[in-house]
Amino acid sequence: MTWSLFDTYGRRKYLNTAEIHSMLQAAQNQSDSVHAFCRLLAETGCRISEALATTRSRVDASTGQVAFECLKKRRRGIFRVVPISIPLANLLLSLPSEDPDAPLWSWCRMTGYRRICELLAIARIRGPQATPKGLRHGFAVASLGAGVPLNLLQRWLGHADIRTTSIYASASGPEERAIAERVWRHFAVPPRRNGRSRSQHAPTTNWTLHQAL
Protein backbone atom coordinates (compact mmCIF):
# COMPACT_ATOMS: atom_id res chain seq x y z
CA MET A 1 0.00 0.00 0.00
CA THR A 2 1.39 3.42 -0.98
CA TRP A 3 1.90 5.80 1.91
CA SER A 4 0.37 9.25 1.89
CA LEU A 5 1.18 12.74 3.13
CA PHE A 6 -2.18 12.74 4.88
CA ASP A 7 -3.65 10.47 7.54
CA THR A 8 -7.03 8.72 7.35
CA TYR A 9 -8.74 11.91 8.60
CA GLY A 10 -7.16 14.09 5.90
CA ARG A 11 -4.71 15.77 8.28
CA ARG A 12 -1.27 16.47 6.84
CA LYS A 13 1.70 14.52 8.18
CA TYR A 14 4.34 17.08 7.18
CA LEU A 15 5.44 20.28 8.91
CA ASN A 16 4.85 23.43 6.90
CA THR A 17 7.50 26.15 6.58
CA ALA A 18 6.00 28.29 9.36
CA GLU A 19 6.07 25.34 11.77
CA ILE A 20 9.66 24.46 10.87
CA HIS A 21 10.64 28.09 11.42
CA SER A 22 8.96 28.09 14.86
CA MET A 23 10.73 24.87 15.82
CA LEU A 24 14.11 26.24 14.76
CA GLN A 25 13.50 29.37 16.82
CA ALA A 26 12.79 27.17 19.83
CA ALA A 27 15.97 25.18 19.12
CA GLN A 28 18.11 28.34 19.32
CA ASN A 29 17.34 28.54 23.04
CA GLN A 30 18.59 25.00 23.67
CA SER A 31 22.12 23.64 24.01
CA ASP A 32 24.40 23.67 20.95
CA SER A 33 24.08 19.90 20.60
CA VAL A 34 20.26 20.02 20.52
CA HIS A 35 20.24 23.09 18.26
CA ALA A 36 22.70 21.52 15.82
CA PHE A 37 20.80 18.22 15.74
CA CYS A 38 17.48 19.90 15.05
CA ARG A 39 18.92 22.17 12.40
CA LEU A 40 20.69 19.29 10.64
CA LEU A 41 17.41 17.42 10.27
CA ALA A 42 15.58 20.57 9.15
CA GLU A 43 18.18 21.60 6.53
CA THR A 44 18.78 18.18 5.01
CA GLY A 45 15.70 16.04 5.64
CA CYS A 46 17.96 13.25 6.85
CA ARG A 47 16.78 10.39 9.03
CA ILE A 48 17.50 10.43 12.78
CA SER A 49 19.83 7.45 12.48
CA GLU A 50 21.78 9.17 9.69
CA ALA A 51 22.15 12.36 11.74
CA LEU A 52 23.35 10.45 14.80
CA ALA A 53 26.03 8.72 12.70
CA THR A 54 27.46 12.06 11.51
CA THR A 55 31.10 12.71 12.42
CA ARG A 56 33.34 15.79 12.23
CA SER A 57 35.25 14.27 9.31
CA ARG A 58 32.03 14.09 7.26
CA VAL A 59 31.31 17.81 7.61
CA ASP A 60 33.01 20.16 5.14
CA ALA A 61 32.65 23.82 6.12
CA SER A 62 34.66 25.03 3.11
CA THR A 63 32.06 23.73 0.65
CA GLY A 64 29.03 23.58 2.94
CA GLN A 65 28.41 19.84 2.66
CA VAL A 66 27.80 16.85 4.87
CA ALA A 67 28.18 13.20 3.90
CA PHE A 68 25.53 10.83 5.22
CA GLU A 69 26.05 7.10 5.27
CA CYS A 70 23.00 5.48 3.71
CA LEU A 71 22.17 3.11 6.56
CA LYS A 72 19.16 1.62 4.75
CA LYS A 73 21.41 0.06 2.12
CA ARG A 74 22.28 -3.62 2.43
CA ARG A 75 25.99 -2.90 2.73
CA ARG A 76 27.92 -0.25 4.62
CA GLY A 77 30.14 2.44 3.16
CA ILE A 78 27.59 3.99 0.77
CA PHE A 79 27.41 7.76 1.23
CA ARG A 80 25.45 10.64 -0.24
CA VAL A 81 26.58 14.26 -0.04
CA VAL A 82 23.98 16.88 0.87
CA PRO A 83 24.49 20.67 0.93
CA ILE A 84 24.14 22.54 4.23
CA SER A 85 24.47 26.18 5.17
CA ILE A 86 27.89 27.43 6.27
CA PRO A 87 26.51 28.52 9.70
CA LEU A 88 25.23 24.97 10.28
CA ALA A 89 28.58 23.48 9.19
CA ASN A 90 30.39 25.73 11.66
CA LEU A 91 27.90 24.85 14.41
CA LEU A 92 28.46 21.14 13.83
CA LEU A 93 32.23 21.54 13.89
CA SER A 94 32.00 23.51 17.14
CA LEU A 95 30.50 20.54 18.99
CA PRO A 96 33.04 18.88 21.35
CA SER A 97 34.57 15.77 19.80
CA GLU A 98 38.05 14.37 20.42
CA ASP A 99 37.85 11.79 17.64
CA PRO A 100 37.03 13.20 14.17
CA ASP A 101 35.60 9.82 13.18
CA ALA A 102 33.37 9.46 16.24
CA PRO A 103 29.68 10.42 16.08
CA LEU A 104 28.96 14.01 17.13
CA TRP A 105 26.14 12.77 19.36
CA SER A 106 26.31 9.88 21.81
CA TRP A 107 22.52 9.62 21.93
CA CYS A 108 20.51 6.57 21.02
CA ARG A 109 17.82 6.89 18.36
CA MET A 110 15.01 7.23 20.93
CA THR A 111 16.81 10.14 22.62
CA GLY A 112 17.12 11.91 19.27
CA TYR A 113 13.42 11.28 18.64
CA ARG A 114 12.50 12.76 22.03
CA ARG A 115 14.66 15.86 21.47
CA ILE A 116 12.73 16.75 18.31
CA CYS A 117 9.36 16.03 19.92
CA GLU A 118 10.29 18.25 22.88
CA LEU A 119 11.13 21.14 20.56
CA LEU A 120 7.86 20.72 18.68
CA ALA A 121 6.01 20.85 21.99
CA ILE A 122 7.87 24.02 23.00
CA ALA A 123 6.90 25.55 19.65
CA ARG A 124 3.28 24.52 20.38
CA ILE A 125 3.02 22.39 17.28
CA ARG A 126 0.52 19.56 17.65
CA GLY A 127 -1.01 17.01 15.35
CA PRO A 128 0.14 14.06 13.24
CA GLN A 129 2.80 16.28 11.63
CA ALA A 130 4.53 16.93 14.98
CA THR A 131 7.12 14.15 14.65
CA PRO A 132 10.70 13.81 13.36
CA LYS A 133 9.27 12.08 10.27
CA GLY A 134 7.01 15.12 9.80
CA LEU A 135 10.16 17.26 9.74
CA ARG A 136 11.67 15.08 6.99
CA HIS A 137 8.42 15.26 5.02
CA GLY A 138 8.31 19.03 5.55
CA PHE A 139 11.82 19.45 4.13
CA ALA A 140 10.83 17.49 1.03
CA VAL A 141 7.62 19.45 0.46
CA ALA A 142 9.42 22.79 0.98
CA SER A 143 12.19 21.74 -1.41
CA LEU A 144 9.78 20.97 -4.22
CA GLY A 145 7.94 24.21 -3.51
CA ALA A 146 11.25 26.05 -3.88
CA GLY A 147 11.82 24.49 -7.31
CA VAL A 148 14.28 21.70 -6.44
CA PRO A 149 14.22 19.08 -9.24
CA LEU A 150 12.67 15.78 -8.26
CA ASN A 151 15.78 13.73 -9.10
CA LEU A 152 17.96 16.00 -6.95
CA LEU A 153 15.56 15.73 -4.01
CA GLN A 154 15.63 11.96 -4.46
CA ARG A 155 19.39 11.99 -3.98
CA TRP A 156 19.24 14.33 -0.97
CA LEU A 157 16.69 12.09 0.76
CA GLY A 158 18.44 8.86 -0.18
CA HIS A 159 15.44 7.29 -1.91
CA ALA A 160 16.15 4.24 -4.03
CA ASP A 161 13.03 4.77 -6.13
CA ILE A 162 12.04 8.18 -7.51
CA ARG A 163 8.39 7.12 -7.25
CA THR A 164 8.74 7.44 -3.49
CA THR A 165 10.02 11.01 -3.87
CA SER A 166 7.23 11.92 -6.29
CA ILE A 167 4.62 11.45 -3.54
CA TYR A 168 5.75 14.78 -2.08
CA ALA A 169 4.55 16.51 -5.24
CA SER A 170 0.97 15.83 -4.10
CA ALA A 171 1.27 18.56 -1.45
CA SER A 172 -0.06 21.98 -2.39
CA GLY A 173 2.91 24.27 -2.90
CA PRO A 174 3.12 28.04 -3.48
CA GLU A 175 3.02 27.68 -7.26
CA GLU A 176 -0.17 25.62 -7.12
CA ARG A 177 -1.76 28.12 -4.75
CA ALA A 178 -0.80 31.03 -7.03
CA ILE A 179 -2.61 29.32 -9.91
CA ALA A 180 -5.65 28.69 -7.73
CA GLU A 181 -5.72 32.32 -6.61
CA ARG A 182 -6.02 33.41 -10.24
CA VAL A 183 -9.17 31.29 -10.44
CA TRP A 184 -10.55 32.63 -7.13
CA ARG A 185 -10.31 36.19 -8.44
CA HIS A 186 -13.12 35.36 -10.86
CA PHE A 187 -15.38 34.57 -7.91
CA ALA A 188 -14.47 37.65 -5.84
CA VAL A 189 -17.45 39.25 -4.09
CA PRO A 190 -17.32 42.98 -3.18
CA PRO A 191 -17.09 43.70 0.58
CA ARG A 192 -20.37 44.02 2.47
CA ARG A 193 -21.70 47.52 3.14
CA ASN A 194 -24.03 48.21 6.06
CA GLY A 195 -24.65 44.52 6.44
CA ARG A 196 -25.57 44.06 2.79
CA SER A 197 -23.43 42.97 -0.14
CA ARG A 198 -23.03 45.26 -3.14
CA SER A 199 -24.84 42.75 -5.31
CA GLN A 200 -28.07 43.68 -3.47
CA HIS A 201 -27.79 47.33 -4.57
CA ALA A 202 -26.82 46.97 -8.20
CA PRO A 203 -27.48 44.30 -10.80
CA THR A 204 -24.54 42.36 -12.13
CA THR A 205 -23.90 41.12 -15.63
CA ASN A 206 -24.68 37.45 -16.17
CA TRP A 207 -21.66 35.35 -16.94
CA THR A 208 -20.71 31.74 -17.02
CA LEU A 209 -17.69 29.97 -15.56
CA HIS A 210 -16.55 29.17 -19.10
CA GLN A 211 -16.56 32.89 -20.02
CA ALA A 212 -14.70 33.85 -16.84
CA LEU A 213 -11.92 31.39 -17.44
Number of Cβ within 10 Å of residue 201's Cβ equals: 10
| pLDDT value of residue 204 | 47
| pLDDT value of residue 178 | 75
| pLDDT value of residue 16 | 93
Rounded to whole angstroms, what are the CA distances from 27 to 33, 47, 80, 90, 116? Answer: 10, 18, 26, 16, 9
End-to-end CA separation in angstroms for the chain: 38
Domain ranges, ordered by start, for the chain: 17-172
Q: Rounded to 10 degrees, what is the CA torsion of 163, 166, 171, 174?
A: 180
Strands in 59-60's sheet, in edge-to-edge order, are 59-60, 65-69, 79-83
Helix (H, G, I), strand (E, B) or coil at 12: strand
Q: CB of 138 within 8 A of CB of 14?
A: yes
Amino acid identity at 191? P
Q: Full-prediction pTM beyond 0.85?
A: no
CATH architecture for the domain at 17-172: Orthogonal Bundle (1.10)
| pLDDT value of residue 46 | 96
| pLDDT value of residue 206 | 47
| pLDDT value of residue 208 | 43
| pLDDT value of residue 9 | 93
| pLDDT value of residue 74 | 66
Phi, psi of 126 (to 5 degrees): -130, 155
pLDDT tens-digit profile, the chain (213 residues): 467 899 999 999 999 999 999 999 999 999 999 999 999 999 999 999 999 999 999 999 999 999 999 876 667 778 999 999 999 999 999 999 889 999 999 999 999 999 999 999 999 999 999 999 999 999 999 999 888 999 999 999 999 899 999 999 888 777 677 778 888 888 888 877 765 555 555 454 443 434 444
Q: What is the DSSP string of 153-166?
A: HHHHHT-S-HHHHH
- Rounded distance, CA 160 to CA 80, Å? 12
